[in-house]
Each structure stands twice: as structure tokens, then as C-alpha cells.
Amino acid sequence: MSERESQEQHWLLLIHQLPSKPAYFRVKVWRRLQGIGAVAVKSTVYALPANAETQEDFEWLLKEIVEGGGEAMICEARLVDGLSDAQARALFDAARDAEYAKIVTNARELVAGIKTKATSEKHAEARSQLVRLRKRLTEVVAIDFFGASGRLAVEGLIAELEAQLIEDKAMTKEPKKAAESGGLKGRTWVTRRDVHVDRIACSWLIHRFIDAEATIRFVAGKGYVPKEGELRFDMFEGEITHEGDHCSFEVLLGRSGIADPALQAIAEVVHDIDLKDSKFSREETIGIASLIAGIAMANASDEQRIAAGASVFDNLYRYFRSKRG
């Protein structure tokens, strides 16, 4: 038995029941399940390997289901009988391999097209298609929890395409100062520990555009009772948190009243990383997702993650401002 098979695996199970109407809501939930990498172990029971990030994904989806008129619960479980851990992992690998196979097919078609029509116009079109392929690959890798075998083939093809087509671009223009909002100043901000992209981005927005002197505190995700003068953000019962299919950064930006296209572009990037639904499909999302994941892995404390993330978002803001110039 391999080390992978001998380790005791814990699973998260989302058990849900959806209203029969509207039909689009059922499709929306199904797409969200696909986007976070869940697999069906029964008709209305979906599984994810248990960790902090997958639990958060299920928690947000549960909230959407309940708000949409459905019912849902999340359980943490060990598989005892009927389905083994190895069989469950095989379900995940099969789902990811099917997605990798689709990317391989598209990549091979793109390689063939470049070789047969090597014109500047064709290369420009190929670069655009390559961005979409790389984005899709990043999305699948993010939910490839157990290392499906199909990843190697597709990464090789994408690397071959990038070697032919990718050209570096430098952005040198300085940003203009964004408008500041005074309505949220003088507050103590509170959010969950173990911050990731949405909370890092919100913290940057608060310090950079709303209140440079703001204090941000990190607390347990559930059960926290806010004190007077505190605002909770990106928390399940927070004052500023997910609303519908909007992430917390989008909600905070709207509440701040700051009208800045560069910040709106950042909101779209944060949305797609956090919600994994490819709603905006910005080409910058792939790189920012990798940077934020690296920051989270390299920094244990929330303060360190926010400090490192601030540099990423400062540069991204400059980039989007320069694109307008």
C-alpha cells in the first residue's frame, strides 16, 4: 500500500436539496460545484477533501443554496464502508483527467493551426487562445487535489505553445491617485484568520483607499461577537461579505463609493480567483492567483500575507491604470 493510500483521509460532504424552480438556479449550483472541484458520491451528496479552503468553498455555496430557497448541510466524515478513500480519490482523478483531456485536444488543434498558418494575424489569434488555455489549465490544477496523471501531458503542450508565442510586455506608467471615501473611516475592521485572496484584497483596499490608519483584526471564523465600532468583512455573518454572486471585495468597493475603473478591474480578478466561476475571464487572473497562493504558502501570519499581498495589488493597480492611458 502506498503512502498516499495509507494516510487516513477526511472528507467534507455537502448534502443539499434544491427547489424545482427556477431551473437556472439548479444549473448555477451545478456549475459552482464543478468550479470548486466537488464530485458526486450520491445524487445530492458532493464531496471534497477536507481542508480550510475547501470548507470555505462549501460554506459559501451552502449560503447561496439557502438564500436561493434550498436546504443544505456540510459534514466532515471518514469513509468506513461502501466507498473507500482510494475509490473516492479515483473519482476526483477521473474528473480532472477528463478536463485535462479537453485542454489537450484544444492545445493540439492550436499547435496544428500555428504550423499551417504562420502569419502575424494567426499568431495574434493564437496568443489569445493560449491565454484562455493557460487560464483553464490553472483552474483545473487548482482543484486537482490528488495529482491526476493527465496534467503532465497538457502542461507539456502549453509550454510548447508558450515557447512559440509569448512575448514579454513592460508597463511603465505611474498610477493616478484614486478618490478616497470617508464614509468608512475610523472603524476597526475584523475578518477571519488565515486570509486568502478576498480578505487580502479587502485589507489592501481599506488601507490604500478608505482609511490608511485603519486597524484590522483577525478572529475565529464563527461565533465572534463584534464590539462597538467594528466592521466584519468576508465573514459569514459580517456586515460586508459575499452578496449573491459578488465576493467581499466587490461589495466593499461598492459600499466605499469609489468610482475607479482600475479598482473595478481588480474586483473582477479577485472575484474569479475567489469564486472560481470564470465570470470575467481576465487574462491577468492566472498570474495573480499563483502569486497569492505563493504568498499564502510562504507566510504563516495574516499580517505577513497582507503586507506581501499589498505589493501585488499596488502593482496590479498601476497596471490597470496604465492600460487606460
pLDDT tens-digit profile of 76-90?
Answer: 999 988 889 999 999
CA nearest to 69, candidates 35, 25, 13: 25
**117 pLDDT tier (thresholds 50, 70, 90):** low
pLDDT of residue 57: 94
Residues 129 and 110: beta-carbon distance below 8 Å: yes
From CA 190, how far away is CA 227, in angstroms rounded? 10
| pLDDT tens digit sequence for 171-223 | 333 333 333 344 588 899 999 999 999 999 999 999 999 999 999 999 987 77
Q: In this structure, what C-alpha cell is assigned to residue 262? A: 482600475
Q: Where in the chain is the domain with CATH 3.30.70.240?
A: 9-77
Cross-strand bridge partners of residue 108? none
**Rounded Cα distance, 263 and 253, in Å:** 8
Q: For position 7, what pLDDT does the model report? A: 59
Query: What pLDDT shows up at residue 254?
Result: 94
Lowest-confidence segment of 128-142, 162-176, 210-224, 283-297 by average pLDDT: 162-176
For the stretch 149-160, pLDDT in tens is 888 788 877 877
Look up cell 479587502; give the residue: 202
Q: What is the mean pLDDT of residues 159-178?
A: 48
Output the pLDDT for position 200. Answer: 97
CATH number assigned to the domain with residue range 9-77, chosen from the 4 options 3.40.50.1860, 3.40.1160.10, 3.30.70.240, 3.40.190.150: 3.30.70.240
Rg (CA), the chain: 21
